[in-house]
Amino acid sequence: MNKPQMIEAVKAGDVNQVQALIEGGEDLEKIDDYGWTALNWAAGRGDSVMVLLLLEAGANVVNSGRDLRTPYQIALAAAQMEVAMLLQQAEQNSGIASGRPVRPYCKAYPVQAFAQFPYWQTQQALEDDSVVYLHQDFSVTASMWLGEDVVFDRISEDWRNYCRDRLDFHVPTDLELAADYQQRRPE
């Protein structure tokens, strides 16, 4: 089994050893048998001190192992919210795309929630108590699937503003979803 010193020091939580290895020129991108680097392990452990140390030393913030998860995704999956936020910011600052696909999103509303929009005209007849779905592209469907059973797709800036301002619609980030899950999770 491949056991790079940097990874072992991170897993042990030995900040002094990690600092010494960095100063000694140890390769930050060495991987173990999982394909994980020291930063991946620090993310999973939720060790913000170690994560900052590795990032400042130049660790690749979007490096993924065999499981194709970046350090941010690892921290998020481990419910390490502080580290996930730190890594999300580092990803954004790096300018390197992580290659994560956009997650589809929609939110259910009673059709009456849209009645106040002055240009609301549906493409199909709906009962007053119908539930419809507002999607990330601001289209509205009778199905939860984007593009299926379209009810309204005349998207304008006024429509987007109505959805944001009156309906408080926005596509939640992974961090918002994880924080919501963490808050609702029984202890």
| pLDDT tens per residue across span 162-174 | 999 999 999 887 7
Q: What is the mean pLDDT of residues 138-160?
A: 93
Give the pLDDT of residue 102: 62
For the chain, the structural domain boundaries read 5-94, 106-169
* pTM metric for this prediction: 0.62
Q: What is the mean pLDDT of residues 33-56?
A: 95
Q: What is the mean pLDDT of residues 181-186?
A: 72
| pLDDT tens per residue across span 66-95 | 888 889 989 988 888 899 989 988 988 887
- Structure tokens that stand for 56 in this block: 């400042």
Closest CA to 116 of 162, 151, 153: 162
- Buried b / exposed e over 40-51, threshold 16 CB at 10 Å, is bbbbbbbbbebb
Terminal CA-to-CA distance of the chain, rounded, Å? 36
| pLDDT tens per residue across span 102-139 | 678 899 999 999 989 999 988 888 888 999 999 999 99
Predicted confidence (pLDDT) at residue 1 exceeds the cutoff of 70: no
| Gyration radius from the chain CA atoms | 22
Three-class SS state of 109: strand
Cα–Cα distance measured from residue 40 to residue 61, given in angstroms and rounded to the nearest whole number:
9
Q: In what order do the strands lie in the sheet with 106-110?
A: 106-110, 131-135, 140-141, 150-152
In DSSP notation, 16-65 reads HHHHHHHHTT--TT---TTS--HHHHHHHHT-HHHHHHHHHTT--TT---
Fold topology of 5-94? 1.25.40
Phi, psi of 81 (to 5 degrees): -65, -45
